[in-house]
């Protein structure tokens, strides 16, 4: 307990930075991921190929490598000067977008084509079909896996600690400087993440049960 209460000045800002990183990267990757998914389901072959290439490259690259690139190699290219926090958000966004894209795309694909065809047959416009037939069903199947993706994102923010963004994962190095037990300190960090993640897991479970489409 002492380790936690004596170092609240570390844990507080640490977890706050974690949540900031998570929030910014979540918004960014939801936007970019949705755009990528739109590219991947579009009727234009060039756009589809572009989306597919992006997803293939980023899904199969370790996130650590993307952080590595932004921490060490990106400054050499002298495009823009960005600090560690911004590059951490960018790295997390670029990586998570590929997963968000796949979730959105597979969600759209779970809606049978016949549904939209029936909509067209009764004379609904494209917008109406999207708003009242396809999207409601897609959302139902998308939200639970999207929550898992977001859980993965919040855990992935810890990798930033290895690249000098002060957040919850970096607490251990400060603790050892102050002479506190790193082991106990990291247990508190682990507990903090369990507290952050468990509610999201419960939300995901309940959504999965409540929203599963009976087909």
Partner 1 sequence: MSSVLFDSPGPKARIRHRIYGAAGLLAFAALIGFIVLRFADEGQFDGKLWSWLQYETVQLELLSALGNTLRAFAAGAVLALVFGAIFAAGRLSDHAIFRVPSTVIVEFFRAVPLVVMIFFFHFGISLGAPFYSVVLGLTLYNGSVLAEVFRAGVLSLPSGQGEAAYAIGMRKTQVMQTVLLPQALRAMLPAIISQLVVLLKDTALGFLITYEELLRYARFLGGIAEFGRPLVPITIVVAAMYIVMCLALTGLAKYLEGRNRRNKKAPIPDKKPDDVVLANEPMN
Which residues within the stretch 11-40 sit at the binding site for partner 1 (CB under 8 A)?
39
What DSSP letter does each residue of 102-134 carry, written as one string? HHHHHHHHTS-HHHHHHHHHTT--HHHHIIIII
Q: At a CB cut-off of 8 Å and minimum separation 6, what does 182 contact?
A: 172, 175, 176
Contacts (Cβ under 8 Å, ≥6 apart) of 62: none
116 lies in the binding site for partner 1 (CB under 8 A): yes
In the 8-state DSSP scheme, what is residue 159? G
Of the residues 151, 165, 166, 180, which one makes contact with partner 1 according to CB under 8 A: 151
**Could you say whether residue 187 binds partner 1 (CB under 8 A)?**
yes
Q: According to CB under 8 A, which one of 11, 22, 99, 180 is a site residue for partner 1?
A: 99
Structure tokens, 48: 């589809």
Residue 161 touches partner 1, criterion: CB under 8 A: yes
Does position 203 interact with partner 1 (CB under 8 A)? The reply is no
Choice from 20, 24, 61, 86 touching partner 1 (CB under 8 A): 61
* Nearest-angstrom CA–CA distance, 43 and 26: 28
- Which stretch, 5-13, 24-32, 82-90, 100-108, contacts partner 1 (CB under 8 A)? 100-108
Q: Is 68 in the site for partner 1 (CB under 8 A)?
A: yes
Q: Judged by CB under 8 A, which of 11, 89, 141, 166 binds partner 1? A: 141
69-98 footprint of partner 1 as x/- string (CB under 8 A): x--xx--xxxx---------------xx--
57 binds partner 1 (CB under 8 A): yes
Separation of alpha carbons 49 and 141, rounded Å: 25
Could you tell me the smallest distance in angstroms from the CB atom of residue 9 to partner 1?
Answer: 20
Nearest to 83 by CA among 74, 94, 92: 74
Total of chain residues touching partner 1, rule CB under 8 A: 78
Using the contact rule CB under 8 A, the part of the chain among 5-13, 26-34, 83-91, 178-186 near partner 1 is: 178-186
Helix, strand and coil percent figures for the chain, each rounded to 5: 85, 0, 15
* Tokens of residue 120, six digits: 């067209």
Other CB atoms within 10 A of residue 11 CB: 19
* 60 makes contact with partner 1 (CB under 8 A): yes
């Amino acid at each position: 307990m002492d380790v936690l209460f004596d170092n609240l000045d570390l844990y507080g800002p640490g977890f706050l930075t974690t949540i900031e990183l998570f929030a910014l990267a979540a918004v960014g990757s939801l936007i970019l991921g949705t755009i990528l998914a739109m590219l991947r389901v579009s009727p234009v072959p060039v756009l589809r190929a572009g989306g597919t290439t992006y997803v293939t490259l980023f899904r199969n690259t370790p996130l650590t490598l993307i952080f590595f690139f932004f921490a060490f190699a990106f400054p050499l290219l002298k495009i823009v000067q960005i600090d560690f926090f911004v590059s951490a958000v960018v790295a997390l966004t670029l990586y998570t977008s590929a997963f968000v894209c796949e979730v959105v795309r597979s969600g759209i694909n779970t809606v049978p084509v016949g549904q939209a065809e029936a909509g067209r047959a009764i004379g609904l416009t494209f917008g109406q079909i999207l708003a009242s037939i396809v999207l409601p069903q897609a959302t139902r199947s998308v939200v639970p896996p999207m929550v898992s993706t977001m859980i993965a994102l919040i855990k992935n923010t810890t990798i930033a600690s290895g690249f000098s963004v002060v957040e919850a994962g970096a607490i251990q190095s400060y603790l050892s400087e102050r002479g506190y037990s790193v082991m106990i300190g990291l247990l508190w960090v682990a507990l903090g993440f369990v507290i952050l993640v468990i509610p999201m897991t419960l939300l995901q479970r309940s959504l999965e049960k409540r929203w599963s489409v009976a087909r």
